[in-house]
Structure 1
Amino acid sequence: MGHKELPNRDQLRDYNYAVAGHPFFHDSAGTMCVADGELFIKPCTQSEIDFYQSANRRHPEFANLMPLFMGSLMLSDPAAEGIDEAVAGVISEVGDIKTTKEQIVASVAAQIANAPVELQPADDVTWIPTKGRKIKTDKAVVLENATYGFKQANILDVKLGVRLWADDAPVEKKRRFDKLSSETTHGNLGFRIAGMRVFRGSDDASELDEEGYKIYDKDYGRLSVNDSNVVDEFRKFVFNETAGIDRELGKAVCAAFVRDLGRVQEVMARHESRMYSTSLLFVFEGDGEALRAAIEENNALADSANGKSSLDRTTKRIDSGIGLDDEDDDDFDELEASLPQIYTLKLIDFAHAQWAPGQGPDENILTGVRSLERIFDEMAQ
């Protein structure tokens, strides 16, 4: 999964470009990205910013499961439908806007250092379903774009949990979310497919968008996926011969996700937290030819760095970490940065997340992670 550190100047090379007022595009959730860029700008509440800050400051192992946190921003007009110059800058602890790279690095470091130990509960307000509308806020979290560097990224968003509401949720929200859980795979498996994007995921061109992707929206996981067909539905994300992802290659992808899902379990078992409506984001190279080429290059560079001959380069060796000494962190980080993207797995969405000292691991979320590991392990066989 790589190592998480405070953003350095190289990591921030596109950051100043963003805060200077570069146009962003929005996805259906209101998220803004620099097109094909490394930044991921997500409108959010202060509590989500707090969770990112405290994770990076006090729980670095847990933060390693999350997208790289680059800081927080203030939006110029969060209610606007189209925001061209949305990002004003990094907001410091005293409210100043920081725009130079040096100021950004210093401000991010200060915010993480001063992150609160305990998060304050949200104000009790009457719950009104958003129905997919953008969040109304003047704040945003800046993250590394998990889909950056892929030729054709296949993306799967899996919402975690049997219970989907936080303790301070209004009664009506609890009732609706409990109904959603009981009617979907949340109830027994602890997760639901919230959305999926698969490159050339159909032989029927009419089912593909203008970029060649088949899109599975939020209703797919609610209405089409159930306990009995869930494994077959996950296969649609990975095994796709139309895009050149054959059985051998797909099994290798699944095995890689199994390994990382195991890592997620290990880390979460060592941390006491409570998260609701958090997701796991699965991303891998959806173009079979590009995926094979990336695997070959990863394996060749890994062998070279380790002083080994380039033998047994099979698709089962899907990531550059295999065969490298974990003690050579600096060499590994430098090598990893030069490698083409193959896959990534990240824990995302922390609007309803907080640390829970003394309460033990988050079994509600872990139920879903364990179910996902079993499914991907079955597909890897």
Structure 2
Amino acid sequence: MAKPLPTRADLIDYNYAVAGHDGTLCDVDGELFIKPCTPAEIAFYESSVASHPDFADFMPTFLGTLTLDEQTNGSIEDAGAALLAQHNGTTVEEASAAILANGTARGGFPVAKHTVPEVVVPVKTGKRIVTNLAVVLENAAHGFIKPNILDVKLGIRLWADDAPEEKRIRFDKVTEETTHKDLGFRVAGMRVWQGPNATGPEIDEEGYKVFNKDYGRFSLNKHNVHEAFENFLFSELAGIDEELGKLVAQAFLADLDKIEKVLAGQESRMYSASLLFVFEGDGPALRNAMEEASRSPSTLVNGDEENSEEEDDEDETAGPKIYTVKVIDFAHAEWVPGKGPDTSAILGVRSVSKILENLAGI
């Protein structure tokens, strides 16, 4: 049964994008994440789903694309109305009227329903891709009561072969001055829930401490970058003590091991792709979710796997979300047969794994 069309009260501006572009659209439940993109990014999603299913398992769930006719005066948002109508079982006119009446949901990261991530921390870039195409994804943060979100940009070289010289110089400077150079990654953004009564200049209205892109650019280096992961995993004020934080780190490690093996076994280039980490930031909810998982045959699994065997059983209720890890941002990604694995991205995954191993006490 299709869910009802969002009302005005439901349309919320999710402003959690840290390194993406403006112009993204989502329905209020966050079930759909519509992101302006290039033909190359769409091609990468399609080829990954068709020919690289092991990697596609760690990508945002790809639902399709929107294409705007060059002869129309529409926008990504207009085309989004058509897709929302299809998804919600309403007419295009109803969906368009709702969007026009309520205003377009702006910003980056939608906290979604079945979903996937393309986001991470509240910082608007002010940039917008000039395109008539959009990729439609699901969002990974839905189902969490207080999702903690971390975006880790991978690689040493950050520019693709078609990048202009100015961009190559600029990105090489970023690599040279950050943890990209030695560790193959940098923290691109993060938001961590601090508890129900948290206040302060760095705390947003929802009780999250926000670490924007400058945090990873200018405050972290190869000697102290582990502190970012400590800030992400452990929050006593939110009820996440050392025990819980270590369990989450172990869960992340299990998926990172799989991602590393997939990248090592396939030939690709993932320039400026990211790892997106999400886990339940409310300590009591996290503990309850873990206890519930421990009572079932499976233990901690990536959040998107929860419905893998029961999705056809309408009477089966999914358990609370614990965590998820995804690889995101494929504007400059491609499969490159004959050229070997992406050692630059793999270095980043391994470096993150080593930090998490230390924090997990492994």
Shorter-chain TM-score tier: 0.7 to 0.9
Runs (5+) with no aligned partner, structure 1: 1-9, 91-96, 103-129, 307-316
Letter in 1 for 2:216: G
Letter in 1 for 2:34: I
Q: SS in structure 1 opposite 2:309?
A: helix
Q: How does 1:96-111 map to 2 (within 5 A)?
A: 99=86
Query: Are the aligned partners of 2:289 and 2:321 in contact in 1 as well (CA < 8 Å)?
Result: yes
Q: Which residue number corresponds to residue 318 of structure 1?
A: 300
What is the CA distance between 1:330 and its match in structure 2?
3.2
Q: SS in structure 2 opposite 1:206?
A: coil
Verify: 1:377 aligned to 2:347, yes or no.
no
Verify: 1:141 aligned to 2:121, yes or no.
no
Evaluate the alpha carbon distance shift between residue 134 and residue 24 of structure 1 in structure 2; reply closer, same or farther with a 3 A threshold: farther
Q: Which residue number corresponds to residue 184 of structure 1?
A: 178
Evaluate the alpha carbon distance shift between residue 331 and residue 35 of structure 1 in structure 2; reply closer, same or farther with a 3 A threshold: closer
Evaluate the alpha carbon distance shift between residue 210 and residue 353 of structure 1 in structure 2; reply closer, same or farther with a 3 A threshold: same
Distance 1:133 1:363 in 2: 30
What is the CA distance between 1:37 and its match in structure 2?
2.5
Runs (5+) with no aligned partner, structure 2: 69-73, 90-123
Distance 2:34 2:302 in 1: 28
What is the CA distance between 1:345 and its match in structure 2?
0.1
Distance 2:153 2:35 in 1: 17
What is the CA distance between 1:46 and its match in structure 2?
1.3
Q: Among 60, 72, 75, which residue is 2:65 paired with?
A: 72
Distance 2:227 2:157 in 1: 24
Letter in 2 for 1:340: P
Give the stretch that moved more between structures: 345-354 or 201-210.
201-210
Evaluate the alpha carbon distance shift between residue 333 and residue 193 of structure 1 in structure 2; reply closer, same or farther with a 3 A threshold: farther
What is the CA distance between 1:205 and its match in structure 2?
3.1
Verify: 1:357 aligned to 2:350, yes or no.
no
Aligned residues: 310
Verify: 1:264 aligned to 2:264, yes or no.
no
Evaluate the alpha carbon distance shift between residue 294 and residue 187 of structure 1 in structure 2; reply closer, same or farther with a 3 A threshold: same
Query: Are the aligned partners of 1:74 and 1:87 in contact in 2 as well (CA < 8 Å)?
Result: no
Letter in 2 for 1:66: M
Question: What does the per-residue CA deviation read over 1:231-283, in whole Å, with 9 as the maximum and x for residues that have no partner?
Answer: 12210001000100000000000000111100001111111111111000000
Q: Among 38, 46, 50, which residue is 1:45 paired with?
A: 38
What is the CA distance between 1:101 and its match in structure 2?
8.1
Q: Among 77, 80, 86, which residue is 1:87 paired with?
A: 80
Q: Among 244, 261, 264, which residue is 1:249 paired with?
A: 244
Verify: 1:275 aligned to 2:270, yes or no.
yes
Letter in 2 for 1:147: A
Verify: 1:167 aligned to 2:168, yes or no.
no
What is the CA distance between 1:181 and its match in structure 2?
0.2
Verify: 1:294 aligned to 2:289, yes or no.
yes
What is the CA distance between 1:288 and its match in structure 2?
0.2
Q: SS in structure 1 opposite 2:327?
A: strand
Distance 2:186 2:348 in 1: 9
Distance 1:336 1:373 in 2: 34
Q: Which residue number corresponds to residue 218 of structure 2?
A: 223
Letter in 2 for 1:161: G
Query: Are the aligned partners of 2:5 and 2:88 in contact in 1 as well (CA < 8 Å)?
Result: no
TM-score (norm 2): 0.78
Evaluate the alpha carbon distance shift between residue 337 and residue 143 of structure 1 in structure 2; reply closer, same or farther with a 3 A threshold: farther
Q: Among 296, 305, 309, which residue is 1:330 paired with?
A: 309
* Aligned-residue identity in percent: 52
Q: SS in structure 1 opposite 2:55?
A: helix
Query: Are the aligned partners of 2:198 and 2:207 in contact in 1 as well (CA < 8 Å)?
Result: no
Verify: 1:35 aligned to 2:38, yes or no.
no
Question: What does the per-residue CA deviation read over 1:342-376, in whole Å, with 9 as the maximum and x for residues that have no partner?
Answer: 00000000000111001111111101001011111
Distance 1:289 1:42 in 2: 34
Q: Which residue number corresponds to residue 7 of structure 1?
A: none
Evaluate the alpha carbon distance shift between residue 279 and residue 355 of structure 1 in structure 2; reply closer, same or farther with a 3 A threshold: same
What is the CA distance between 1:17 and its match in structure 2?
4.8
Give the stretch that moved more between structures: 200-209 or 289-298.
200-209
What is the CA distance between 1:186 and its match in structure 2?
0.3
